Amino acid sequence: MENIMQFVSTRGESQHLDFSDVVLGGLATDGGLAMPKNMPKVDQKILKEWQGLSYTDLAFNVISLFAKDIPAEDLRKIINAAYTEEKFGIEEIVSLSALNEDYVVGLSNGPTFAFKDMAMQFLGELFPYLLEKKNQHLNIVGATSGDTGSSAIHAMRGKPRINVFMLSPNGRMSPFQTAQMYSVQDANIFNLAVDGVFDDCQDLVKALNNDAEYKTKNALGAVNSINWARILAQIVYYFKAYLAAVKEVGEPVDFVIPSGNFGNIFAGIYARAMGLPIRKLILATNENNVLDEFFKTGIYRPRASKDVHLTSSPSMDIAKASNFERFIYLLLGAEKTRQLWQQIDEQGYFDLTKDSIWQERQSWGIESGQSLHENRVETIRKVYDAFNVVVDPHTADGIFVAAQYKDEGIPQLYLETAKPIKFAETVKEALGFEPERVADYANIEALPQRFDVLPVDVDLLKQYIVKQLS
């Protein structure tokens, strides 16, 4: 096949791979993350042609720029199966709710009511296709702060050739999130409640991926946003939201992104680099403000597990942002990225202020801010009073931070994180009532739950997986 796109590692020491190998492989062999060797460019002429497309047609046009080793007819079938009205409840897949000149970008219409469904439903169709072609099985090991796990489990449950081992922080998710994951009874789903925080779960997953012999022997793959296919599927909704929001292609907009692991905002950074006319990307953190600290000070200092705050926007209770490495790679290249992550290993942080790139940070077009519990509660109340729209706590974090960077005449597009139903306690605190539940989820917390508890111990995790597979 002509013009196969090659993928390289952010640390520069891994062999070049095609799209299918990257999807099934997860973390690169040198510990880095996969990135396209060359960036596709999209001009305004193409954007105008894309403006009227359905979500599936737009997704096909964007994804086919990268997945060049999959025949076009097969790729279209995968995408059409992933994004259906039956799964997402609306034909458009992504909805826009106007707040004056700004918009909430509705990304939580999928089966688990979270934006993670936008990528995970694609992976849920892509994985079985690739495994069938290669006659392989895959054991997905993932980490979640609440929403990735649920979306992955519901996308992969009952699928052939796949097992899912999902690590989540024991007792640190909302009751709804917990029930949505642990109540799944399919034989190919294994929920592991880890006695730690999300970053401990993420570290365990990375440790398994970095053990090349174990990874190969047990056919391990990744479903977290370390998997490029996740980022790719998220790039699509930036294009969709932009094209739906503007009257004329070329008009600037700002995107507002609540982000803990940096995957959601990185998709926007990449979409803009491809040619999407985004003026600013505004990043919102909660009390776990590692990313805000970097964009304010130039110092990236991941926190220790004991220093991670338990907050009312728990999907962002993250202190090591995996996809941040991809951003640094775009700025500085593989060699410098490898050096900086060595510094993190050796001293716990790196400081970019001594690098000339820090003097150019205005050109990055990224703003950041922090939102606290009282800010998100107040924002939920304000949005409801003004627009009769209920937003979840994470989306509220974004709206609160975005107000600090609002410029007249530039629409702000707030990326929705989840349906408010998933965080009913905080919404009730703000509004005095719980969001209405659909019938299927009326008593989800009362369903039987199936999970195992594990300490933060990579050897015990390895033994557990081997036992389940034997």
Give me the active site residues, please. Answer: 116
Residue type, 238: Y
Nearest to 144, CA basis, from 119, 123, 165: 165
Task: List, in sequence order, every beta strand (DSSP E) within 286-434.
Answer: 299-300, 350-351, 366-370, 412-415
User: How far is the C-alpha of 330 from the C-alpha of 336, rounded, in Å?
Assistant: 11
Other CB atoms within 10 A of residue 274 CB: 17
Q: At what angle do helices 263-274 and 228-245 cross, to 10 degrees?
A: 60
User: How far is the C-alpha of 119 from the C-alpha of 155, rounded, in Å?
Assistant: 10
User: How far is the C-alpha of 161 from the C-alpha of 413, rounded, in Å?
Assistant: 39
Residues in the chain: 470
User: How far is the C-alpha of 219 from the C-alpha of 233, rounded, in Å?
Assistant: 23
Q: Residue 193: enclosing H or E segment and its boundaries? A: strand 189-194
User: How far is the C-alpha of 240 from the C-alpha of 40, rounded, in Å?
Assistant: 17
Residue type, 297: T
Nearest to 240, CA basis, from 363, 38, 85, 62: 62
Provide the CB-side half-sphere exposure for 341 (13 A, CA). Answer: 23
